[in-house]
């Protein structure tokens, strides 16, 4: 996804202090529609949802697609037992930046509207959301 530019101009739309920072809804509704049925099966939990780990968001079993979250607290008790939030990476530098992302809207942005309307919805109603300018793989 990084290699195809999916995360360029993607907003951090859900920020719950000491819990998670969530992102992964593309700014273009047409791109979201293409990824709508891209659900991946759940991976077994091999590590804990500790502070700084990254995992795919999911609404149920085997529903992971494009949305991810960074744990901003130790969420082992909340998430590890649910079997669908399997961390696959860790932020090794920059958690100071993650913790400084604008959390003023909390969980207010509606993910379904963001999928359907893209950045048009997010920038109109939540103009101060922080976003990923670009992402690369080296």
pLDDT band at 44 (very low <50, low <70, confident <90, very high): confident
| CA dist., res. 119 & res. 123, Å (int) | 6
Compute φ and ψ for 20, nearest 5 degrees: -145, 160
Q: What is the pLDDT of residues 58-97, one digit of tens each?
A: 988 888 999 999 999 999 999 998 888 999 999 999 999 9
CATH 2.40.100.10 fits 10-132, yes or no: yes
- State the chain's mean pLDDT as an integer: 95
Identify the helix (H) or strand (E) that includes residue 76. Answer: helix 76-79
């Amino acid at each position: 996804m990084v290699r195809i530019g999916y995360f360029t101009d993607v907003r951090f739309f859900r920020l719950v202090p000491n819990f998670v920072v969530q992102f992964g809804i593309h700014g273009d509704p047409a791109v979201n529609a293409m990824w709508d049925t891209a659900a991946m099966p759940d991976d077994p939990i091999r590590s804990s949802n500790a502070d700084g780990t990254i995992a795919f968001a999911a609404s149920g079993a085997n529903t992971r697609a494009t949305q991810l979250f960074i744990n901003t607290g130790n969420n082992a008790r909340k998430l590890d037992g649910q079997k669908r939030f399997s961390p696959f990476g860790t932020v090794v530098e920059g958690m100071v930046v993650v913790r400084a992302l604008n959390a003023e809207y909390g969980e207010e942005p509606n993910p379904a509207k963001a999928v359907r309307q893209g950045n048009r919805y997010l920038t109109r109603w939540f103009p101060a959301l922080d976003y990923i300018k670009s992402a690369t793989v080296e």
